[in-house]
Amino acid sequence: MLHKKRKVFIRQYLWIKLFLDLVIILIKILDYYFYGIITRYNTILAVVSFLSSLILLWKIDFLDNFKFKHLVNFNNCVQLLLIVYNSVSKFPDFPITLIYLILFPISFSYVNNFKQTFLYSAFFFIIFLFVYSGFEWNSFPSWKSKDVNTVFFLWIYNLFSLYFHFFFFLFLLTFHIYYAIEFKSVRIQNNFEQKNETVEPEPSLLSDTEIKEDKLMILYRRIIEYTEKNKFYLNSNASIYDLTQSLNTNRTYISAALNQKGKTNFNDFINSYRINFVIQEFQKDIHKKYTLKVIYTSAGFVHQSQFNRAFKKIIGKSPREYLKDINS
């Protein structure tokens, strides 16, 4: 359920980003049409950004291994660098784009904590000041200038861009709040269902140790059920944090349940499911159609050395030896 919501959230973000890229490309076309000015670097980046958004929308599952936080941070960094470049190349004597710096800390704060937001914002603010340290900041060109049309266009262009970015970030904020509320409601619902389904003995009839052991066994069964149902181990970024969020518990209880009831740790627990997935693929003769890398990456492994170690630890022989045995 959470996986689908996450995918919808990212897809909506990419649609808005696609629209933003289209507007930027349109502005570049208007610049060239009215004034014969074209910034090739910015235009190429805008087109590449637009095409990348299209590709990611087409291959949305590719983003399953990425965190939405990294996607937002990357987009913000690229946009900020483009703004600095555009400001220096078009009007170095008047850093009108300084006003954009007000908006980006808000965008960074949606997916980062206060410390990370401060560091990101301070880093780009220092870059902006460093770039303009060699320029003399003049007042805005006079309206009596012979290039009044250009001045007017810059006003319209910057105001439009400012409001466009503002509503873009406002949309992200609204979606962020909506997603957070939905996620919380799902956790509450899961917790409610689990409480209704679980009938525990009277506490007075059990010792504290027995109560703790009973709860750990219940949690261990929930871990098994969730893992087999959702198959989150196929995601190379799967972590114990995913379990804590989905099962509404903490890292300590997850580790205790796995250690005491499963006689394992989180990494070995996840790898056992991944290796079992690979074994099933071998039994289907998938290895005769695809390379070994395709198989172990689809199981959630990133590096072959990691896969080989886990395979030998669980099966007792290397993947090559195992394949040799089943093919003989």
* Cβ-contact 134, 111 below 8 angstroms: no
Which residues, including other chains, have CB under 8 Å from residue 17's CB and lie 6 or more apart? 49, 53, 75
Q: Compute the distance between CA of residue 257 and CA of residue 253 in angstroms, rounded to an integer.
A: 6
Compute how many other C-beta atoms are within 10 angstroms of the C-beta atom of residue 84: 20
pLDDT tens profile 277-295 = 999 988 888 888 888 888 9
Question: Quick one: pLDDT at residue 240?
Answer: 87
Closest by Cα among 239, 231, 222, 328 to 276? 231
For residue 210, what pLDDT is reported? Answer: 46
| Amino acid residing at 283 | Q
Task: Identify residue 13 by its one-letter amino acid code.
Answer: Y
- DSSP label of 317: S
Task: Answer yes or no: are the C-beta atoms of 292 and 280 closer than 8 Å.
Answer: no
Look at residues 86, 76, 62, 85 and name the one whose alpha carbon lies nearest to residue 10: 62
| Listed residue (72, 80, 142) closest to 112, CA to CA | 72
Angle of the 208-230 helix axis to the 251-261 helix axis, nearest 10: 100
d(CA 328, CA 318): 16
Q: Give the per-residue pLDDT at 310.
A: 92
Distance between CA atoms of residues 170 and 128, nearest Å: 24
pLDDT, residue 270, reads 93
CA distance 54 to 56: 6
pLDDT at 67: 61
Helix ranges (H only) for 59-103 are 68-90
Handedness of CA 92, 95, 100, 104 (dihedral sign): positive
DSSP secondary structure letter of residue 232 = G
Q: What is the pTM of this model?
A: 0.40
Burial of 231 (0-12, 13-18, 19+ CB in 10 A): middle
CA nearest 28: which of 12, 9, 50?
A: 50
Farthest-apart Cα atoms in the chain, separation:
92
pLDDT of res. 130: 75
Phi, psi (rounded to 5 degrees) for 40: -60, -40
Instruction: Give pLDDT < 50 ranges for the chain.
Output: 1-2, 137-146, 148, 183-208, 210-211
- At 204 the pLDDT is 42
H/E element, 130: helix 114-132
pLDDT tens readout for residues 235-271: 888 888 888 888 888 888 888 889 988 899 999 999 9
